[in-house]
Structure formats: structure tokens, C-alpha cells
């Protein structure tokens, strides 16, 4: 298995094996999982180290005008814009609660966040990673420029991983194409 220090830096996607022993490695995951119809939800009101709750996602979905049904869901909290390039970005990210992650798993294919984790920087419970493990979904971390996608409705997104043999994740070049 390739070490975490290589496959989980910069904009990246986690492989199923990252959260589940015996799960698929990045080279075993289907490429069509990493591209397709997408929406960016505006959750910039969530404070640093806050929680993204189910109600926040439901409200953001309505505001976006896109009914999430098999989409890739990108979540803009404004973290990157507030903190980059300062080191505070490493320990200020909010997190997605277990209940909110179940909601995402019921509606989306994969989701992505701006920070180093989908879980709060000050928590060791990892609710998003645990639900992803249990529900067989995954997520992108360290996305940036998501503010550019707010209020754009549905668009196409690609975040293809490198074919790293037995990798627990992979750097990606994330691209959104607006209609």
C-alpha cells in the first residue's frame, strides 16, 4: 500500500481501502465514479470547526435549485478563501455529521470539501469517514475555488485519480465544466 503521505496530499480522493480494511484500492475503483453531473452547495455560513448538519444540506439543496439525485456534491464552506495560504487552514475545517453523510449517501455518488478532511479538525470521531466506510461512498478533500461554482446550478465535474497500484487514495486534477 502506498503511504498516506503521497496519496492524501493536495486535492485528492480517498479510496475505499482508506476507511475499510479490504476495501477497493484506488486502482480498483471504476473511473465513472469520479466524473459526472454535479452541484456545489453554499455552506459558507458554517463557521470554522462547526458541523454541517442535515438541515444545512437540505436548505442548501433547495437554494441551489438542483434536486440531488446521483450527483457529485461539492461543499463550499469558504475555508480556503478565509485561510489560504496561512497554516490555520490545516486545523480550522468544519465537518460533516453522520446524519448529514447518510443524507449524502442516499442521494449522491461522491462528495467533496475544501479542507484537509470531511471531518472537523478538532474531532477524533471521524463521523463522515465512518459513514463513508459503512455506506460504500467516498469523498474529495482539499478542493479550492468552489465559490466560483455557487449559484451555477448543475454542471459537469471530473476529478480522476491516478492509477496508483494499491493506493489508499490519489491526487486529482479537479475540473468543473459549466454549460
Domain 4-177 belongs in CATH node 3.40.50.2300: no
User: What are the sequence ranges of the domains in the chain?
Assistant: 4-177
- Three cell numbers at 173? 486534477
Q: Residues 113-165: pLDDT tens digits?
A: 999 999 999 999 999 999 998 999 999 999 999 999 999 999 999 999 999 99
Cβ-in-10-Å burial (0-12, 13-18, 19+) of 152 comes to middle
Q: Residues 66-82: pLDDT tens digits?
A: 999 999 999 999 999 99
Rounded-to-integer distance, Cα 24 and Cα 167, Å: 9
Tell me the pairing of strands 175-177 and 155-158: antiparallel
pTM exceeds 0.85 for this model: yes
Amino acid at each position: 500500500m502506498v503511504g498516506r503521505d503521497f496519496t492524501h496530499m493536495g486535492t485528492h480522493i480517498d479510496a475505499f481501502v482508506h476507511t475499510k480494511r479490504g476495501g477497493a484500492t484506488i486502482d480498483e475503483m471504476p473511473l465513472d465514479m469520479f466524473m459526472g453531473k454535479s452541484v456545489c452547495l453554499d455552506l459558507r455560513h458554517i463557521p470554522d470547526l462547526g458541523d454541517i448538519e442535515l438541515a444545512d444540506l437540505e436548505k442548501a439543496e433547495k437554494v441551489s435549485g438542483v434536486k440531488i439525485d446521483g450527483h457529485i456534491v461539492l461543499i463550499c464552506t469558504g475555508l480556503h478563501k478565509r485561510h489560504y495560504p496561512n497554516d490555520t487552514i490545516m486545523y480550522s475545517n468544519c465537518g460533516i455529521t453522520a446524519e448529514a453523510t447518510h443524507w449524502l449517501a442516499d442521494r449522491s455518488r461522491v462528495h467533496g470539501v475544501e479542507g484537509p478532511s470531511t471531518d472537523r479538525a478538532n474531532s477524533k470521531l471521524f463521523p463522515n469517514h465512518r459513514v463513508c466506510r459503512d455506506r460504500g461512498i467516498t469523498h474529495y478533500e482539499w478542493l479550492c475555488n468552489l465559490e466560483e461554482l455557487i449559484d451555477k446550478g448543475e454542471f459537469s465535474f471530473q476529478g480522476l485519480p491516478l492509477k496508483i497500484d494499491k493506493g489508499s487514495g490519489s491526487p486529482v486534477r479537479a475540473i468543473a465544466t459549466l454549460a
